Amino acid sequence: MEFTNQSKCICLALVLMLGDWSSEATSRSFNDAFAYGRYEQWIARYGRVYNDIKEKEDRFNIFKENEAFIDTSNNDGNKLYKLSLNQFADLTNEEFIASRNRFKGHECSTKTTTFKYENATVPATMDWRKKGAVTPVKDQGQCGSCWAFSAVGAMEGITQITTGKLISLSEQELVDCDVQGEDQGCSGGFMDDAFQFVIQNHGINTEANYPYTAGNSTCNAKEEAGHAATITGYEDVPANSESALLKAVANQPISVAIDASGSNFQFYSSGVFTGTCGTDLDHGVTAVGYGVSADGTKYWLVKNSWGAQWGEEGYIRMQRDVAAPAGLCGIALQASYPIA
């Protein structure tokens, strides 16, 4: 299963639709036929291509289950967020997790650092996008490189804040070249180790010079030697404290680890996410602000790396100041930031 060229796929989907219809219509229930129509529309929209009718049928069954899950959630008037049949609609939750989330949560962090924002004052709201410190949403594809996107988002932020220049930086350099330590390219890694790599490498190249390929490749030493930005250090935000995280996000975009394994996270579409969530950290993202919604719900503004079609144009607003010290989905457990 692959994401492929849109124009080619629409044609292919049409051919399959015609071929399918006569034989399928007789054996399908009325409701199923309507569901199949929605499935065909979804296939065309997301340019999905299946190897054969069997795979297409199997994926249809998953699609139907996901659609039922989404409808049930969206019909619950008490929920502050909506789900949608996004690009992950034909994946089971297990497949979804296996193909994307690869932050390797440390059991416990032994590193003790100072927290430079300990006494920082915090404005009521913050949106680093409005301050020009956030690049457009990127897409990690089917590669467990979330850790690289999370770290790059924080480095792009601090670089813009200190130099005034917003430069899209290279995740692929981290995927390919940061392999001497614990980071493992598409098989996962840590944001702090990515910062460590950039410090030792004396910088990181641009996205343009070292573009993303969504796969492991050998390190391009020439591009690795090109430095568009650099950092001198990094610090961890004290864990289990959303107020500490607030002080940090008030001052720069912050790398955070979350548990993004739930189906409601998979299909998040809009609103303030208040869904049930664990704290088994498996995904790296970048917190780029915070605020309060119209109905008074406090949220973190989080940049994801699943493309602009997911969530609110690639972002999710996650409930802030929850009862659990770890924060929703463990957002306050392993936050960290680079120092220019």
Q: How far is 61 from 70, CA to CA, in rounded Å?
A: 14
Helix-, strand-, coil-residue percentages of the chain, each rounded to 5: 35, 15, 45
Mark whether 304 is an active-site residue: yes
Q: How far apart are CA 21 and CA 332, in angstroms?
A: 50
**Number of residues near ligand NAG (by CB under 6 A):** 9
Q: Which of 146, 177, 186, 329 is catalytic?
A: 146
Residue 187 interacts with ligand NAG (CB under 6 A): yes or no: yes
From the list 92, 83, 99, 84, the residue with the least C-alpha distance to 3 is 99
Q: Does position 116 bind ligand NAG by CB under 6 A?
A: yes
Which of 119, 121, 180, 218: binder of ligand NAG (CB under 6 A)?
119
Interacting span for ligand NAG (CB under 6 A) from 23-31, 116-124, 165-173, 318-326? 116-124
CB nearer to ligand NAG: pick between 86 and 184:
184
- Gyration radius from the chain CA atoms: 21
Closest approach of ligand NAG to the CB of residue 197, in Å: 13
Binding test (CB under 6 A) with ligand NAG, winner from 73, 201, 206, 216 = 216
Q: Which residues from 159-178 bind ligand NAG, rule CB under 6 A? A: none
Site string for ligand NAG, 124-163 (x = CB under 6 A): ----------------------------------------
Q: Which helix (H) or strand (E) holds 298?
A: strand 298-303
C-alpha count within 13 angstroms, C-beta hemisphere, residue 224: 17
Binder among 91, 126, 186, 246 for ligand NAG (CB under 6 A):
186
Contact at 8 Å (CB) between 257 and 151?
no
Read off the amino acid at residue 268. Answer: Y
Instruction: Compute the least distance from the CB of residue 141 to ligand NAG, in Å.
Output: 12
Q: How far is the CB of 167 from ligand NAG (least distance, A)?
A: 26
180 binds ligand NAG (CB under 6 A): no
User: Interior CA angle at 144 toward 128 and 168, to 5°?
Assistant: 35
Least Å distance, CB 219 to ligand NAG, is: 10
If one asks whether residue 189 binds ligand NAG (CB under 6 A), the answer comes out as: no
SS3 state of residue 76: coil
The span from the CA of 326 to the CA of 328, in Å, is 7
Build a one-symbol-per-residue string for 68-107: x at contacts with ligand NAG by CB under 6 A, - elsewhere: ----------------------------------------
Provide the b/e sequence for 101-115 (b: ≥16 CB within 10 Å). Answer: bbbbbbeeeeeeeeb
Rounded Cα distance between 33 and 16, Å, is 15
3-class SS of residue 14: helix
Asked if residues 94 and 62 have their Cβ atoms less than 8 Å apart, the reply is no
Query: Among this protein's residues, is 146 annotated catalytic?
Result: yes
Q: Which of 145, 184, 241, 264 binds ligand NAG (CB under 6 A)?
A: 184
Binding of residue 185 to ligand NAG (CB under 6 A)? yes
Q: Smallest gap, in angstroms, from Cβ of residue 186 to ligand NAG?
A: 4
Q: Could you tell me the smallest distance in angstroms from the CB atom of residue 244 to ligand NAG? A: 11
118 is an interface residue for ligand NAG by CB under 6 A: yes
Residue 330 · residue 245 · CB < 8 Å:
no
Binding residue for ligand NAG (CB under 6 A) from 1, 33, 179, 339? Answer: 179
Residue 202 appears among annotated catalytic residues: no
Q: Do the beta carbons of residue 102 and residue 188 sit within 8 Å?
A: yes
Continuous segment of H or E residues that includes residue 81 = strand 81-83
Active-site annotation holder among 86, 101, 264, 304: 304
- For ligand NAG, the binding residues (CB under 6 A) are 116, 118-119, 179, 184-187, 216
Report the catalytic residues: 146, 283, 304
